[in-house]
Copies of this chain bind each other. A is one copy, B any other.
Amino acid sequence: MEPAFHGRPADHHPAAHHVYLLQQADRRRHDLGSCQGLMGLDSMRAPTLRDVARHAGVSMGTVSHVLNHPQKVSESTIAKVRASIEELGFVRDANASSLAAGGSRSIGLVVIDLGNSMFVDVARGAQEAARDAGLNLMLAASQDDFAAQGENVDFFAEARVAGLLLAPLQDSSEQMRRFSARGRPAILVNYDPGDEGVCCVVVDNEQVGYLAARHLIEQGCRRLLFVCGDEAIQPVTLRRAGLRRAVSEAKGVRFEEVHTPDLTEQSGAALAHRVAARGPGTRPDGIVTVTDTLAAGFMNAAEALGISVPRDMAVMGCDDNRLAEPTTVGLSTVAMEGKALGGAAIRMLLEELSAAAGIPHVHQRIVVEPRLIPRRSTLGFERG
């Protein structure tokens, strides 16, 4: 068989293919013919706005107006210019455009990780709202790496985007400052900076913890275990506070806290071993992990260790992270409404962008309520 680049086999209609190629070549030559003599153009050079202007017999300013302010141009001129654009296959250079105009219609979204469906939802919600507003949304994911997040923020700063949405897991004020120094607005998503210097859209993470613990208590659990992971992350701290509040409101509920080195499945699995080692009598009857990932690791390991969820023990996660490892039984959790977060963040940014023109902007803080999602991992628990 011939190598692919020698041509297509006969049964692939080589003739039609050839004709097509010739048409392409013809067209190119024809399109640029009028200016070639004058300019000494390389016929392979991509057409610029100047080429369009010459082809249409108007000035560059007029072409630019057709592109950006068509209401300032007569119908007939618009038609003429559009035809030339079409014929030459002109694609404007957004870099030159932004440079000359001093800004772009794009906004950047930096998300810490796409491995948590919460952030995927934020991206989808933001994308939708941005499109509705006629803005371009560019997404950058940081693979759970704080340094990469900083590079992404810098990237958008260098790109001179109109505004930024940042969904971090920890204090990123330094990274944001670098961005905001240019005077462009930035909004925090799912992170509460705790002061009034920045707009933010957050989920009530204290309530997340509260709903989780209260649900377990309502299911009849009386010996709770909170699995808290690394405390440095804001959602973890807040959720823990909510867990405690739920316990303090109930009567006769004991609880203990365990800190895992991180929030991975592995840590969840390791915890299952520790719990199993305890012996049935002293084990907790309800577990809340601060993330679904931990819960998934725990449940999948517990099974093999002879702990049955939910019969022996109810388990709750937090996040409604559908990208966490699947569990044998549906995992009850508290959902974060990421789409709502993303949409609200875009609308907030739009407000700040339009406010930039004179009106003093007051930084806002929108709080979205979380939602309990009970599934089999807790609904099947029966107090023994």
Contact = CB atoms under 8 A, between A and B. Distances in A.
A372 B94 CA distance: 44
B99 A95 contact: yes
A172 to B, nearest CB: 17
Given A46-B183, A141-B124, A4 B362 contact: yes
Given A4-B362, A5-B360, A196-B5, A95 B159 contact: yes
Interface in A159-190: 159-160, 178, 181-183
B139 A141 contact: yes
Interface in A1-29: 3-5, 8, 12
Interface string A126-147: 0110010000111111010000
A123 interface: yes
A218 interface: no
Interface stretch (A32-40, A223-231, A257-265, A322-330): A322-330
Contact of A127 (B12, B104, B131, B143): B143
A91 interface: yes
Given A124-B114, A195-B8, A140 B143 contact: no
B160 A95 contact: yes
Nearest to A323: B322
A120 interface: yes
Interface of A: 3-5, 8, 12, 44, 46, 89, 91-99, 104, 106, 114-115, 117, 120, 123-124, 127-128, 131, 136-141, 143, 148, 154-155, 157-160, 178, 181-183, 195-196, 322-323, 326, 328, 330, 360, 362-363, 375-376
11 contacts: A4-B196, A91-B154, A91-B157, A91-B158, A93-B99, A93-B160, A94-B95, A94-B160, A96-B99, A117-B117, A117-B322
